Amino acid sequence: MPLADAIVENFQPGTLEAWGLGYEVLEALNPKVILTRATVYGQDGPYRDRPGLDRNGIAHGGLLYITGYPDRPPVRPGIVVSDYLTGVFNALSILIALYERDVGKSGRGQWVDLALYESVFRLMEHTVAGYDRLGLVREREGNRLKNSAPLDNWETRDGHFVSIVAAGDGLFPRLARAMGRADLVQDPRYATLADRARHGEELNAIVAAWCREHTAEEIERILVAAEVPVSRAFSIRDIFADPHYAARGDIVEVDDPTIGPLKMQGVYPRFSRTPGAIQRGAPRLGEHNREVYGGIVGLGDEELDALEREGVI
């Protein structure tokens, strides 16, 4: 019987074991099998049996606490970030296990323990070291940082928002001159990054006032020409109309058998020699039952026909 190279599951811990499909059983059938197990809190530890979803992974991983403004409750990120991030770590885990098994020539599979909160926690930058060495508890700072200015997402004359990053000693003079405020470069309050951070409120207010006088398109044109990092906060409508997205093929059209042509994100990352492509839309529920039960499980046509008649597959 053909055996799977890798198996992915995201049930509560102990579910596979209760079904008689724990790793030891799978390994006995195929010593090369790789099993990745994704849960919110992991396969062990005092919280392993807690139920949870993406938001719990974000909260327990520390990201929720530092997201938002200091005078308001924490704000969730705009997407289910711990779910998707764990999916990326999942794919990477399988590749690492395959490399160790085949290139490293161990010839053996293994199981991988993935927790949503740990995927988030591993991206928490200096939060751990800052608390360990300095006792710093990182708090919500909104769009600004205490040690950087000017830095924010500013509203434009036409109601858009632009993100301008120009706190560095090389970038700030470019921004000041581009705004027609070369005098700011000579102002001792803004001479260094530390100085600008100390006077961040007034400096950010100056940039905010300038942004309110210009459209988003004007700001982008002026600052790009001055080599100042700037990006408009794109809605999905902006993304669909953007020439850079179009030039790089970031949006592709796939023919869905139910709803017809459907646009979706293109394949990423981009490979030079073996570029990826989306061949078809997502499968319908049960669409490949015969292929799975026949080609993998090994059932014959008569058995498959009987299961279809009974509505099992």
Strand (E) positions, the chain? 6-9, 34-39, 111-115, 151-155, 161-165, 230-232, 251-256, 260-265
Q: Which of 83, 102, 183, 187 is catalytic?
A: 83
Token pair in block for residue 7:
């198996």
Residue 286 Rama label (left phi>0; alpha psi -120 to 50; beta): left
Identity at 60, one-letter amino acid code: H
Tell me if residue 133 falls in helix, strand or coil.
Answer: helix
Task: List the beta bridge partners of residue 148.
Answer: 145
Positive or negative, the Cα torsion across 100, 101, 102, 107?
positive
**83 is known as an active-site residue:** yes
Q: Report CA-CA distances (Å) from 67 to 71, 152, 156, 210, 235.
A: 12, 15, 24, 27, 20
* Alpha-carbon distances, residue 12 vs 47, 54, 63, 165 (angstroms): 11, 14, 23, 43
Closest Cα partner for 150 from 105, 193, 110, 97? 193
Active centre residues (catalytic): 83
